[in-house]
């Protein structure tokens, strides 16, 4: 007890890095890395009471904030390398911090990411990570590279995270493996970093699904100057989701639910087999759910007919 910020930093955050590109890490006024090539930078903030419930344990917050950043780099086809962490805490609670730093570093280690600096201040609980990655010239994935007639793919399964969050919010106990699975998809989503790297040079446009498929595919369409038609019956839904929710509810979660952190990308219709082969070794599947069209907007089809889904994605200010 009674620890100052420097003790907290050395106890929970200062670690040796194996990355020789890090010339100076934690401990100076700024960190220094030595790198040539395109540096890809992203940042994500999580605010207590907005992005997670106030009583959320440190290990969940530490994992999710880094996962969100990793997912952004995945969508760019970049290799994550270094991050900074700005922590605003109401007070110093060892149990929370210890859970936070353990799961943060577990995930960082899985992806070869070094924590090279940060900030620690007092105030309402807010966690910000800035993540730096390295891209390959001419191989960066962006939202704007889509072309009319591209196939639209999504990885993994959609809607699990939103369904898991709904179970958590309702306080429903883990009465089955399906409950546990869905909650875990919200609490510990898998950023598709290797998949993003594998899609370099083949995906035309890409985005990670953080605000819901319709919203995020909408961003690809706007940036690429086109529209999309998707068939909701081709959305990948997990058996766990379908076991606990009627299929129309599951589809709504898949269309609008945020924070799946799957990838949505487009590719030439000729590249279906190549995509499958590249993802196979990663144990991931990508599902073709529709295609890009020249008419703007995202149109959903069900049983061959257009329909208007219940609502759109998560907006922060409305
Ligand atoms: P300054 O006041 O010069 O900004 P600080 O006293 O805030 O430096 O931080 C001391 C060192 O510890 C810096 O190298 C900073 O990057 C690092 N640091 C501070 N907070 C964190 C944190 N939450 N995680 C990792 N490193 C941190
Ligand atoms: Mg500082």
**Alpha-carbon Rg for the chain in angstroms:** 20
Centre of ligand 1 from the C-alpha of residue 60, in Å: 22
Ligand 1 binding pocket includes 8 (Cβ within 6 Å) = no
Instruction: Specify whether the CB–CB gap between 207 and 219 falls below 8 A.
Output: yes
pLDDT given for residue 193 in this prediction: 98
Task: Please list the pLDDT of the chain residue by residue as tens digits (318 residues).
Answer: 578 999 999 999 999 999 999 999 999 999 999 988 899 999 999 999 999 989 999 999 999 999 999 999 999 999 999 999 999 999 999 999 999 999 999 999 999 999 999 999 999 999 999 999 999 999 999 999 999 999 999 999 999 999 999 999 999 999 999 999 999 999 999 999 999 999 999 999 999 999 999 999 999 999 999 999 999 999 999 999 999 999 999 999 999 998 999 999 999 999 999 999 999 999 999 999 999 999 999 999 999 999 888 765 555 565
**Partners of 264 in beta bridges:** 154, 207
Ligand 1 binding pocket includes 13 (Cβ within 6 Å) = yes
Centre of ligand 1 from the C-alpha of residue 312, in Å: 39
In sequence order, the 6+-apart residues with CB closer than 8 A to the CB of 68 are 44, 46, 129, 191, 210, 259, 261
What's the rounded Cα separation, in Å, for the pair 249 and 90?
38
In sequence order, the 6+-apart residues with CB closer than 8 A to the CB of 283 are none
Give phi and psi for 86, each to the nearest 5.
-105, 120
**Partners of 40 in beta bridges:** 133
pLDDT given for residue 312 in this prediction: 54
- The residue whose CB lies within 8 Å of the most ligand 1 atoms, and thus the one to mutate among 8, 25, 26, 89, is 26
Ligand 1 binding pocket includes 85 (Cβ within 6 Å) = yes
Q: What is the dihedral of CA 108, 109, 115, 116, to 10 degrees?
A: -140
Which single residue is written with the structure tokens 């919200």?
Answer: 186
Centre of ligand 2 from the C-alpha of residue 113, in Å: 21
Q: Which residues surround ligand 2, an ion (CB under 5 A)?
A: 119
Ligand 1 binding pocket includes 108 (Cβ within 6 Å) = no
pLDDT given for residue 91 in this prediction: 96
Centre of ligand 2 from the C-alpha of residue 210, in Å: 29
What's the rounded Cα separation, in Å, for the pair 189 and 259?
8
pLDDT given for residue 253 in this prediction: 96
pLDDT given for residue 268 in this prediction: 98
pLDDT given for residue 315 in this prediction: 58
pTM for this model (two decimals)? 0.95
Reduced to 3 states (helix: H, G, I; strand: E, B; else coil), residue 246 is coil
pLDDT given for residue 213 in this prediction: 97
Reduced to 3 states (helix: H, G, I; strand: E, B; else coil), residue 132 is strand
What's the rounded Cα separation, in Å, for the pair 167 and 278?
35
Instruction: Specify whether the CB–CB gap between 177 and 244 falls below 8 A.
Output: no
Residues 270-274: contacts with CB within 8 Å, 24+ apart?
A: 271/151, 271/202, 272/151, 274/202
Instruction: Specify whether the CB–CB gap between 258 and 210 falls below 8 A.
Output: yes
What's the rounded Cα separation, in Å, for the pair 122 and 117?
17
What's the rounded Cα separation, in Å, for the pair 201 and 139?
5
* Burial (Cβ within 10 Å: 0-12, 13-18, ≥19) of residue 168: middle
Reduced to 3 states (helix: H, G, I; strand: E, B; else coil), residue 229 is strand
**Partners of 273 in beta bridges:** none
């Amino acid at each position: 007890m009674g620890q100052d910020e420097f003790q907290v930093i050395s106890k929970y955050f200062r670690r040796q890095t194996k990355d020789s590109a890090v010339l100076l890490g934690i401990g100076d006024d700024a960190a220094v890395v030595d790198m040539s090539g395109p540096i890809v930078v992203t940042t994500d903030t999580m605010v207590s009471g907005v992005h997670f419930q106030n009583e959320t344990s440190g290990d969940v917050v530490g994992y999710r904030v880094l996962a969100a950043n990793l997912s952004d780099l995945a969508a760019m086809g970049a290799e994550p390398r270094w991050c900074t962490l700005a922590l605003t805490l109401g007070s110093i609670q060892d149990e929370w911090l210890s859970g936070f730093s353990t799961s943060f570093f577990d995930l960082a280690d899985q992806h070869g990411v070094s924590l090279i600096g940060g900030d620690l201040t007092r105030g309402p609980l807010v966690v910000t990570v800035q993540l730096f990655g390295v891209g390959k010239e001419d191989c960066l994935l962006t939202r704007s590279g889509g072309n009319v007639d591209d196939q639209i793919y999504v990885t993994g399964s959609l809607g699990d995270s939103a369904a898991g969050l709904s179970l958590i919010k309702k306080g429903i106990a883990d009465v089955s493996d399906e409950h546990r699975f869905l909650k875990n998809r919200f609490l510990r989503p898998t950023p598709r970093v290797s998949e993003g790297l594998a899609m370099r040079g083949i995906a035309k446009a890409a985005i990670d699904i953080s605000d819901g498929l319709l919203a995020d595919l909408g961003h690809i369409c706007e940036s690429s100057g086109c529209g999309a038609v998707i068939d909701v019956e081709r959305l990948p839904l997990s058996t766990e989701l379908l076991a606990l929710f009627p299929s129309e509810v599951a589809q709504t979660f898949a269309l609008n639910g945020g924070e799946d952190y799957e990838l949505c990308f487009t590719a030439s219709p000729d590249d279906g087999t190549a995509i499958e082969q590249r993802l196979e070794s990663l144990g991931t599947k990508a599902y073709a759910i529709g295609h890009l069209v020249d008419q703007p907007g995202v149109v959903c089809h069900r049983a061959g007919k257009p329909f208007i889904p219940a609502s759109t994605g998560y907006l922060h200010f409305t």
